[in-house]
Structure 1
C-alpha cells in the first residue's frame, strides 16, 4: 500500500525522534505527512500493541485522530474476553484494533467504517495479521444497521468529537447517534457492547439505555480508559452487575464486582480513628462510587464521606487499590508540622478532602518529593484535618 520511497524512509528514520524528522527537508515528491503518519504509528504499536510488533514493517497506519480513540491491546483483549458468541458486527471499525481481537473469539465478524481510507488500511492490516474471518464494508453505521441480518452481538464505539473537533460526552452528540439507532439494532441482535468515554456519567447511562446487564469500568495502571455497557435483549430486570477492573502491567489485575441491588440500603460506618491500615481505592472504584460495596466486602470503615479513604485493623491484600500501614497520625496544625514533619525530609504526598493542594502542602512543610514515606493529608469523620504518615504495603 505504501510507496517504495516511503518504505525506505521509514527504515531510515524509524529509530529517530519524530521531532527531528518533522523539520527535515525532503524532495518535493515525498509525501511527508504520510511518512510522519507511519513513523507515529510505529511508536503507537510499540507502546500499545506489543503482539503486532512482529508485523510492524508490513502494517500501514492511519492518521493521528484514529490513534486517539483506538483501544490499547490490554483493553481490546479485555473486551474480547467478555464474548461467548459466534458472530459480531463492529459498527465503528476505525483503526481495527477491537475488530481484530474480537475476531479471535468469534467465527464471523463484519467491520463497518464510513471512511474509505480507514477501510483500505484495516483490510490490508487484517490480511497481514492473518485475520481471515473479517468482512470489511465501507458504509455508515446508520445505513448498515437498517439492513443488517441477525447477529449475536453489535459493538459500537461512537466518535466522541463533533465536527469542530471538540470532545463530547452525551450519547446524542456522538457519531453515530447511539440513541437514534439503538432501538432498531436491538431487533437484530441479542447483545450490544457499547464503549463510552471514561468521562461519561454512569447514572446517566443507566437512565438512558435499556436492557443494561453489565457495566465495566476499565482502567490501565490506575488510569481510567473505558466505560463498557453490555445490553442484553433478554435482560429486563432492574438489576445490573458492575465490574471495576484495573489492568496492571505486572499482571496484578485488581477486580471488584457487585450488583446495584446488593448495595441498596447499605450504610457505611464512618470513623475518626485510624486503625492499622489505610486503604486507597483505585480509580475504577472512585468512578463507580461503590463505596458501600467496598466497605461491606472488605469490612473497612470510611474516614469521611468526601475523603474516600478507608481503614481497618485487618490486612486485605486483594483490596482494589493501594494499602498502607499507618505509622502515625497527627492533627494538621503549626505545632504538628514543626515537631513531626521536620524530621521527614521527603515523602509522597496525597491530599483528599483537604484545604491545601499538594504543592501548597509541600511549600508549607518543606517536604521534597519521593522516598519511602507516604503522607495522606485529609479530613476524618469529626471534620478534623489530619496527616496520616504511613508506609506502602507490597501487594504482589
Structure 2
C-alpha cells in the first residue's frame, strides 16, 4: 500500500506545545498550514491530525475524541470505519486474535477491546504505520513484516501463552492495490489468502478476511472451510464483503446481506427454507421495488421477492407489486406515476433523481434535455425494454 515518505511521528505529540497548538489552529485552513510549515516536524504531524479531525469526523466519531494519533496519506482514507470495524469484531468470539494486515489499526482496535479478548497480535508491513500502532495500541503485541514472514513470531507468541489453535481467530485485509490499479481477484491480493490459508489454519480455528465490494462471490469458494459470506452495507453503500472460515465446516456457506445501523444491524440470509420462483412481467404494477446494495450484491433479493409475492420486472434487478411493501432498510419502494416514451413524462416541479438501465444516454444528458432539477422525492428510470426506449416516473415512499 502506498503511503507518504514522511509519516506522522508519535514522538511529536510528546511536545508540551502540541495540544495548545492544535487548539489554537482548529479553525485554520490546512492548505495554508501546509504551505507555511511544509514537512517540518512536529508541525507536519500536527497538521495531519487537524485534517483527519475535519475530513473523517463521521468515519471515526469515537476514536477522534481520544488520544489516537492518525496517520497521513492513504491509510486513513482506505481504512475501515469505526462502525464496520465494530461489526467485524462482533463476528469473533475467540479469546486470542491477530490482525496480519493492520493498516492504521482500526480493526485491531475493535478486536482488542472486546470483553472476550485475552490477547491481540497486530502486524503491519509499513514501518511508519507500525510505529504508530505501537503507540495507539499499547495493549497489543506488535510485528512489522509481511503476513508470511511474521508467522514464526506469531507462533512464538501463542506458544508463550500456551494458546491452542481452537482459541485463535485471524483477521486479514489483503492489499488489493498495485501500481496498475485495483484488483478484486483473490490471487492478486497481498497476501494471497488462498495460498496462505493452510499455514494459518495450523495456528487458528477461524479466519476472517475482508474483500472488495466488487469481488465475485463465487470466487470465495476457493477458501477452505468457508462458513459464511457477509455483504456489508452502511450508509447506503456496499462497504465490504467478509468471508468467515471455520475449521471443519462442511457444506455451502451461509450468505448474509447485512445493513449496519448506528446502533445495531439487520440481516437477510439464505439460511431460510427455499422459496418459490418469482414470475416475470414487462409492465409495472402500482409499486416499484429497488433492492439496496447488500441485497443486490448478495443476490438475496430473489428470496425476499418470492417471500413477499413480488413480480420480477424484466428491467434490471427491479420488482413490482400491487400491494404496498413493508418499509425495510434492504430496499427502496416507489409508487409508479407514469410510464411514457422518452421525454414525454409530465414531470413534477420539485425535481428528482435519474437512473438509467441499459439506456444509451447519461443521466446528466437526460436531466439537461428534461430541464429537471435534482431532488429526492421523485425519480425517473430511463430504460430499454427490448428495442423500445422508455421512461418511468416514480415517487419515493420511504
TM-score by length of 2: 0.84
Instruction: Quote how far apart the aligned CAs of 1:8 are.
Output: 4.6
8 Å CA contact 1:90–1:99 kept in 2: the answer is yes
Distance 1:167 1:234 in 2: 33
Q: Say whether 1:145 aligns with 2:161.
A: no
Query: Structure 1 residues 257, 383: CA separation in 2 closer, same or farther (over 3 Å shift)?
Result: farther
Distance 1:383 1:2 in 2: 65
Q: Say whether 1:161 aligns with 2:174.
A: no
Partner of residue 368, structure 1: 373
Distance 2:365 2:269 in 1: 37
Q: Say whether 1:36 aligns with 2:51.
A: no
Greater alpha carbon shift after TM alignment, 269-278 vs 285-294: 285-294
Partner of residue 240, structure 1: 253
Query: Where in structure 2 are the equivalents of 1:162-177 lying within 5 Å?
Result: 162=178, 164=179, 166-177=181-192
Q: Say whether 1:212 aligns with 2:221.
A: no
8 Å CA contact 1:191–1:232 kept in 2: the answer is yes
Partner of residue 388, structure 1: 392
8 Å CA contact 2:12–2:42 kept in 1: the answer is no
Query: Structure 1 residues 115, 165: CA separation in 2 closer, same or farther (over 3 Å shift)?
Result: farther
Residue number among 358, 364, 375 corresponding to 1:359 in the alignment? 364
Distance 1:51 1:19 in 2: 26
Distance 1:192 1:252 in 2: 23
Instruction: Quote how far apart the aligned CAs of 1:224 are.
Output: 1.6
Distance 2:393 2:113 in 1: 48
Partner of residue 84, structure 1: 93
TM-score by length of 1: 0.84
Query: Structure 1 residues 25, 230: CA separation in 2 closer, same or farther (over 3 Å shift)?
Result: closer
Distance 1:84 1:13 in 2: 43
Instruction: Quote how far apart the aligned CAs of 1:310 are.
Output: 0.8
Distance 2:387 2:269 in 1: 31
8 Å CA contact 1:94–1:113 kept in 2: the answer is yes
Query: Where in structure 2 are the equivalents of 1:287-302 lying within 5 Å?
Result: 287-302=297-312
How far does the alpha carbon of each residue in 1:279-321 deviate from its partner, in whole angstroms, 9 at most, with x for none? 11111122223342232233211111x5111111222222612
Residue number among 347, 350, 353 corresponding to 2:355 in the alignment? 350
Partner of residue 16, structure 1: 28
How far does the alpha carbon of each residue in 1:119-162 deviate from its partner, in whole angstroms, 9 at most, with x for none? 331122224xxxx3x22233432123356243421111112223
**Bigger helix share:** 1
Partner of residue 182, structure 1: 197
Q: SS of the residue aligned with 1:121?
A: helix
Distance 2:348 2:309 in 1: 34
Residue number among 206, 216, 222 corresponding to 1:201 in the alignment? 216
Partner of residue 192, structure 1: 207
Instruction: Quote how far apart the aligned CAs of 1:89 are.
Output: 1.3
Structure 1 unaligned spans of 5+: none
Instruction: Quote how far apart the aligned CAs of 1:109 are.
Output: 1.4
Distance 2:348 2:108 in 1: 56
Q: SS of the residue aligned with 1:296?
A: helix
Distance 1:59 1:191 in 2: 29
Instruction: Quote how far apart the aligned CAs of 1:70 are.
Output: 1.3
